[in-house]
């Protein structure tokens, strides 16, 4: 299976940066190199220690062309997190388990608050635009009805 840029999603956190994910057969897979970067681990060593059933290789289309990347499933994600000795690993695990995974399970995607607020702001802008447009159309219809009335009265006078 080839993973295109469009299929790649990002979890983003100001403290931990971006984590690339991809959904394959309804399973969320996490890019190992991104996880290792956050957790201060060597991706080559980690991939050698992981059980083969948690590790998958997929070709990714990157700016430098196609490259093979390691991804881990949720079970592998926990293995990687538990391997880190960085103090941030616990905070990272909490973020993943309390925000990211529940969001994916509930909505099929991860959305942080600023992204959601941005979507809400856009929605409010669209609603305001549609209300204005609706009022403009209402005014046009009203003036057309008045014009039709005037023309009908003129026709009536001719035939009376």
Sequence-distant (≥ 6) Cβ neighbours of residue 19 within 8 angstroms: 10, 11, 12, 30, 31, 34, 35, 38
- Per the rule left: phi > 0, alpha: psi between -120 and 50, beta: everything else, 84 is beta
Distance from the first to the final alpha carbon of the chain: 80
Average pLDDT score, the chain: 80
CATH number (domain holding residue 19) = 3.10.260
Considering 90, 110, 130, which residue would you say is the last residue of a domain?
110
DSSP state of 63: T
pLDDT of residue 6: 47
Per-residue pLDDT of the chain (160 residues; tens, 9 = 90+): 555 454 788 877 788 888 888 888 878 899 999 999 988 899 999 999 999 999 999 888 778 888 889 999 988 998 898 888 887 777 777 877 777 777 777 665 555 555 556 666 677 778 877 888 888 888 889 988 988 888 888 777 777 6
Q: How far apart are CA 27 and CA 70, in angstroms?
A: 15
Residues 61 and 33 in one domain: yes
Provide the domain count of the chain: 2
Residues 150 and 72 in one domain: no
For 50, the token pair is 């992981």
Domain with 10, as residue range(s), is 5-110
DSSP state of 99: I
Residues 101 and 142 in one domain: no
Residues 85 and 105 in one domain: yes
Containing H/E element for 143?
Answer: helix 113-159
Residues 13 and 85 in one domain: yes
Q: What is the dihedral of CA 64, 22, 82, 40, to 10 degrees?
A: 20
């Amino acid at each position: 299976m080839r993973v295109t840029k469009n299929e790649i999603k990002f979890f983003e956190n100001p403290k931990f940066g971006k984590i690339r994910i991809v959904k394959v057969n309804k399973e969320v897979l996490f890019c190992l190199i991104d996880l290792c970067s956050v957790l201060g681990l060597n991706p080559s060593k980690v991939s050698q220690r992981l059980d083969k059933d948690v590790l998958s290789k997929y070709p990714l289309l990157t700016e430098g062309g196609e490259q093979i990347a390691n991804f881990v499933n949720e079970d592998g994600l926990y293995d990687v997190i538990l391997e880190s000795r960085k103090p941030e690993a616990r905070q990272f695990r909490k973020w993943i388990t309390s925000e990211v995974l529940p969001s994916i399970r509930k909505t099929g995607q991860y959305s942080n608050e600023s992204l959601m607020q941005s979507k809400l702001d856009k929605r409010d802008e669209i609603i305001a635009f549609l209300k204005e447009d609706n009022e403009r159309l209402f005014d046009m219809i009203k003036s057309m009805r008045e014009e039709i009335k005037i023309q009908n009265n003129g026709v009536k006078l001719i035939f009376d």
